[in-house]
Each structure stands twice: as structure tokens, then as C-alpha cells.
Amino acid sequence: MVDKPASDSAAPFGVALLPKSLGVKVGMLIAFTITIAAAFVIYVLFARGVFEATQRLTLVADNAEGVSIGMDLTFSGFPVGRVREIALADDGKARIGIDVPRRDARWLRATSVFTLEVSLVGGAKIRAYTGNLQDAPLADGAVRPVLRGDTAAEIPQLVATLRGVIENVERMTAPGASLQASLDNVRMVSERMAGKYGVLGGMLGGEDNARKVIASIDRANVLLASLNGVALKMDTVLAKTDQRVLGPGGVLDETQKAVTQANAILGEVRESLKKVDVILANAQAASGNVKAATTDLGALRAEVEASLRKVAALIDEINRKWPFERDTKIKLP
């Protein structure tokens, strides 16, 4: 079919044998071709986002493996940006430059999180997650870290961590482990508290100690009762003294002094009784320091005895210096 016109054209200007509209047809073909080529170029430029205003987003990753130029940044599965450059920064981190069309930039906010996921099969994926679409919009030229999720790289790490956790649990539950010992101690203490002497036994660490404290308290009670007797005795002594002093022919002012002194002594006795009270309160409240309490009681008893001796001496003195005695002077110690 081609050979025929070609052989015809062996004559230099054999165009006369060809259709008249040849020029028009060829012109149409060339015009159509140019139109399609131009449309294709414009379409490709449009597809590459040349006519679209974009903003730059730079993601910083530890490792840009799997990222390639032209890769999409997706949001909810829709592409909202395209990787334009990948560069290694001076700090050794990979910087992934992404162009985001302005009309899609509204999906990215200042609080958006970016992830780079590398699955076992298929290419890497860069995804954006925006929690709150009301947050401030992402600024042009923003630099954000990207969280890398590498399934293949994470498995050994996961296994190592899991092994550590399992070892810890094993160590905690092993016989003789500290957790076990702590639980045993708690059980022991609670058993003691449930025993005969209750919380006191639990606190003092045994029934013997608790029994000692209680015995101390009992002894203090007995002592208190004997002190009561002493006080009664003193009352009668004082009544007798009163009678004698107020009796006829008494040296009243001397007697008065003696009585004042007796009052002072009684004050001391009262102080002693207060101390006894305090010590008893201490003994009851502290329920520890049994030894100290006993020492205090000893000192108190000595003090009380001293006071009583003083009272007896005073009575002797009073008897001696009674108005009917020859010696009218009363000498105070």
C-alpha cells in the first residue's frame, strides 16, 4: 500500500497523484498532535501540583529508609501532601520535605502527629493524625518529628522487653522473693494484732512485752491507792494540828508559819501527785519505754517518801514546839 505511492514519487513532484486535501489532512494531524501534546504537558504539570499553592512541612526522622520522592502523606487514607526532598541534616537525622497544597493544609494542625510506618510487605507510609481540628493551623515551613513504626525492627525489641517483664514477674513470685517475704511479715503482724493483747501485742512485737506493760500499769494503780491512804492520814494529822494550834494559849503566828510551811509541803505533795498522773498517762499512752516509766516511779516513790518524812519531821517539830512545851521557839529545818 505504501509501496505504490512511494514508487510513484520516483518522479520529483509526483504529488499530483495524491488527494487534493492532503495538506489539510496533514495540517489537521499535526495540529491535533500539538494540541494533545500541549494538553498532556499541562495536565502533567497540573498533576504535579505546579499550579497549586503549597506550603512546606519538614518531618525529622531518625531513619528515612523506605521513603521516596513522590510518596504521599496521607490523612484518613487521603493524600494531602507529597514528598519533595529527602536530605540528611548535619545532626545525622533525615529531613523529609513535604509539599502540602494549601487547600489540604486545613487537615494538618499544630498538634498533628506524623508517623512513618514501614510494614513487612509493601512500601513505607507517612500518615498524619489530627486529634482536634479546631487547633491552630500548621504553620508554613513547620518542622515536626515523625514517629517511626517499623514492624520488622520492633519485633526483636518487643521480644526483649517482654522477656524482661516475664523475668521480673518470675523473680517476684519465686519462693523466698522479697514480695513473698513482705506478705509473710504482713500476715504475722496481723495475726499478732488478732491475739490476746490486740494492737499492743502487734506493736510491741510479742505477748511478753505487752504483759509487762499491763503489769506496770497495775502496779501504778496500787501505788495510787496507797497514796490515797497517805493523803487521808495527812488530813487527820492536819485536823489534829488545827485543833492544837487553835487551842487556848497557842503561839498563833508561830503556829501560822508552821501551817504555811505545811501548806507548802502539801503543795509539793500535790505536784508529786501530778507527776504521778503524768507518768501514769505516759505509761498508759506510750506503752513502750517500760523501763523508763519504772525508773520514774522509783524516783517518785523516793520523792513521796521524802515528803512524808518531811511531814513526820514537821509533826515531830510541832509536837516538840507545842505551846505547852518549855521551849517556846519553833525551829524550822
Q: Which stretch binds other proteins (CB under 8 A): 17-25, 136-144, 213-221, 266-274?
A: 17-25
Question: Residue 57 pairs with which residues in a beta bridge?
Answer: 98, 142
By C-beta, is 32 or 129 nearer to other proteins? 32
What are the C-alpha distances in Å from 195 to residues 112, 188, 217, 218? Answer: 62, 11, 20, 21
For residue 119, state whether it binds other proteins (rule: CB under 8 A).
no
By C-beta, is 104 or 268 nearer to other proteins? 104
Q: Which stretch binds other proteins (CB under 8 A): 14-22, 110-118, 201-209, 275-283?
A: 14-22
Tell me the three cell numbers of residue 206: 510479742
What are the C-alpha distances in Å from 310 to residues 233, 234, 236, 240? Answer: 14, 12, 16, 17
CA distance 153 to 118: 9
CA distance 146 to 217: 73
For residue 2, state whether it binds other proteins (rule: CB under 8 A).
yes
CA distance 270 to 263: 10
Place of cell 521524802: 306
Kindly identify the residues of this chain, within the stretch 41-100, that bind other proteins according to CB under 8 A.
43-44, 46-49, 69-70, 72, 79, 82
Supply the minimum distance, in Å, between the C-beta of residue 147 and other proteins: 23
Run of H or E including 238: helix 207-246
Between 21 and 40, how does the x/- string for binding to other proteins read (CB under 8 A)?
Answer: -xx-xx--xx-xx--xx--x
CA distance 205 to 288: 11
Site size toward other proteins, by CB under 8 A: 36
Supply the minimum distance, in Å, between the C-beta of residue 71 and other proteins: 9
For residue 129, state whether it binds other proteins (rule: CB under 8 A).
no
By C-beta, is 107 or 197 nearer to other proteins? 107
Interacting residues with other proteins (CB under 8 A): 1-3, 5-7, 9-10, 12-13, 15, 18, 22-23, 25-26, 29-30, 32-33, 36-37, 40, 43-44, 46-49, 69-70, 72, 79, 82, 121-122
